Amino acid sequence: MGRVRGKVALVTGGGSGLGKADCERLAAEGAKVIVSDINEAAAKTVAAAIGANAIAVKHDVASEDDWKRVVTLAESHFGGLNILVNNAGIVVVADPEETTLEQFRKANSVMSEGVFLGCKYSIPLMARSGGGSIINMSSTASHLGYPAFFAYSAAKGAVRAMTKSIAIHCQAKGYGIRCNSIHPASIETPMIQSAEGRPGQEHVIPEGVLLAGSAGAPTDVANLVLYLASDESRFVTGSEILIDNGLIISA
């Protein structure tokens, strides 16, 4: 207990899936958490379950004004910001020929521009707060070819590249801010359920070491988020960390 005690965390897309698991894990280890989600009701449910150390906020990560408002809230309500988890995402199922320009722009507005805006407006507050950790949720889609998820892959590739520039920028400025990207394979979340045509039908992920080709659980990613958010990972920045049960090396 207490691995991130005294730290303030902002998790986008915190109302469900990976974001929900991240919020719960960080709070359990002592962080004060801002649960950010475009679905305000979902964010409130997560924050209420956590208790006094969490607040919910309606947040469209593609909106610059929303980012300014949410970062200001972090400072006014909790006094600063130490952990940013850029997790919010959407998925469009369409190959390069089928994807419309509108779909491409929408996916990138959330997962590429949203990450850019989050870092842009959070970095100054994090620096004033004594530094911290930015954790950008990318995907194995930034490493492998997934034609059916073309727009998603493009956005996650941008996240992978931006992370490295942000890491070196913060290091050069002496901000005490680290920045890393996480690259999960298939994780059992509502997004995956919808992409696989089984909305609301949750598969149970067994305990112990998983077989090849298995999906992971949200807690698998949340445990990695906790490590990167904590001071235990002080020597880790600019890294892209695969959490894929060997998918990339076996592909």
- Can you tell me the distance from the alpha carbon of 156 to that of 60, in angstroms, rounded to the nearest whole number? 18
Q: Is 175 a catalytic residue?
A: no
Place of tokens 């969490």: 54
Please give the full DSSP string across 41-103, using - where no structure is assigned.
Answer: HHHHHHHHHH-TTEEEEE--TT-HHHHHHHHHHIIIIIS---EEEE-------B-TTT--HHH
Q: Say if CB 148 and CB 94 are below 8 A apart.
A: yes
Residue 225 — φ and ψ, nearest 5°? -60, -45
Q: Which position among 121, 146, 152, 227 bears the catalytic label?
A: 152
Sequence-distant (≥ 6) Cβ neighbours of residue 133 within 8 angstroms: 82, 83, 84, 177, 178, 179, 180, 228, 229, 230, 233
Please give the full DSSP string across 192-237, using - where no structure is assigned.
Answer: HHHHTT-TT-PPPPPSSSPPTT--B-HHHHHHHHHHHHSGGGTT--
3-state secondary structure of 130: coil
Q: Say if CB 43 and CB 15 are below 8 A apart.
A: yes
Known catalytic residues are 152
